[in-house]
Amino acid sequence: MTATETGQAQTDVQRPDPDYMPFHAAPKRPDFVPPPGAVDAHCHVFGPAARFPFAPTRKYTPVDAPAETLFALRDHLGFARNVIVQATCHGSDNSAMLDAIARSDGRARGVAVVAKDVDDAELDRLHAGGVRGVRFNFLKRLVGNAPKDDYVRIAERIAARGWHIVVYFESAELADLEPFIRALPGTIVIDHMGRPEVADGPEGAGFARVLGLMASDPRFWIKVSCPERLTVAGPPYDDVVPFARRLVEAFPDRVLWGTDWPHPNMTSHMPDDGLLVDRIPAIAPTEALQRALLIDNPMRLYWPEEAGA
């Protein structure tokens, strides 16, 4: 899957890491049919590197995962829209994501990563290009030491635009990070359920802290995504379902769902995206919960003009 749009291979300097796992080549067609208008609210595009080179500062070099492959997957899975989240391998150059959004016929929006000195013209350009939020990453493996001062400055800059902030951390870090995250302005979306330790079960201390954060302040939203990254048992991720279900039932109007395609940095196995979709009824067991998770919530956050919010 290193072929690019133009048929060239990724160049030497941009060649995928030798142990990098490519996305599933032929995911099943899900048995669960998402409601019409469903949104995959967390996915990425990578490259193609020949056109959109990866950042010199990146911590990994992935396999190309271009927009047309994402859109084909969207259709195959029965989804209508994507929220494309800027991944660290592209740094703060959002070109690949903006190009994908521009080619989506209005069916994609984005979450950007921006530099601390981003100017208003660039924020205007990103907004016009479909960006509705910024992502702050706290994973040392992905960004080293999180530049918190920069994040504060960026948060102040974007607050007036009605954008939200997406935060990515591991639950073990939350005790230290919580004061910082609580002090951020506006709506804050937590990636991947706050990455709980699934071995501790849903009663574990880390997940309790995530639940407490969600319960304490309606500005917090959360993505019930990434069972493949969190699981101990492996597919079909029965050990992760109770975490997601608890969040969906407790906070039905502040949860989002996403594939996380193309699943960067997976080392144990590569998930079948069709199977991920098939787990949705287990985490959102009623049609009302499914509708909120897959349509109403993401539309409110990313297409408010269509959601009537």
Residues that bind ligand 0GY (CB under 6 A): 44, 87-89, 137, 142, 168, 191, 260, 264-265
Residues in contact with 274: Cβ distance below 8 Å, sequence separation at least 6, in sequence order: 27, 28, 29, 30, 76, 77
Smaller CB separation from ligand 0GY, 40 or 289: 40
**Residue in 260, 272, 273, 296 annotated catalytic:** 260
State in angstroms the smallest separation of the CB of 88 from ligand 0GY. 4
Please tell me the distance from the alpha carbon of residue 160 to that of residue 153, in angstroms, as a whole number.
13
Smaller CB separation from ligand 0GY, 85 or 155: 85
Q: Is 247 exposed, middle or buried (0-12, 13-18, 19+ CB in 10 A)?
A: buried
Smaller CB separation from ligand 0GY, 260 or 273: 260
CB atoms within 10 A of CB 197: 15
Rounded to 5 degrees, what angle do the CA atoms 125, 81, 267 make? 95
Name residue 15's amino acid: R
State in angstroms the smallest separation of the CB of 166 from ligand 0GY. 9
- What is each CA distance from 146 to 134, 135, 138, 152, 281, in whole angstroms? 14, 12, 5, 11, 36
Smaller CB separation from ligand 0GY, 249 or 272: 272
State in angstroms the smallest separation of the CB of 195 from ligand 0GY. 8
State in angstroms the smallest separation of the CB of 120 from ligand 0GY. 25
The first and second tokens of residue 307, run together, are 């959601």
21-58 CB burial, b ≥16 within 10 A, e <16? bbbbeebeebeeebeebbbbbbbbbbbbbbebbbeeeb
The first and second tokens of residue 160, run together, are 């007036």
Rounded to 5 degrees, what angle do the CA atoms 146, 149, 154 make? 95
Please say if 105 is a catalytic residue.
Answer: no
Smaller CB separation from ligand 0GY, 169 or 303: 169
Smaller CB separation from ligand 0GY, 133 or 289: 133
State in angstroms the smallest separation of the CB of 87 from ligand 0GY. 3
Please tell me the distance from the alpha carbon of residue 195 to that of residue 226, in angstroms, as a whole number.
9
Distance of CA 6 to the CA centre of its chain: 27
State in angstroms the smallest separation of the CB of 85 from ligand 0GY. 7
Residue with tokens 């009623």: 286
- Could you give the residue numbers annotated as active site? 260
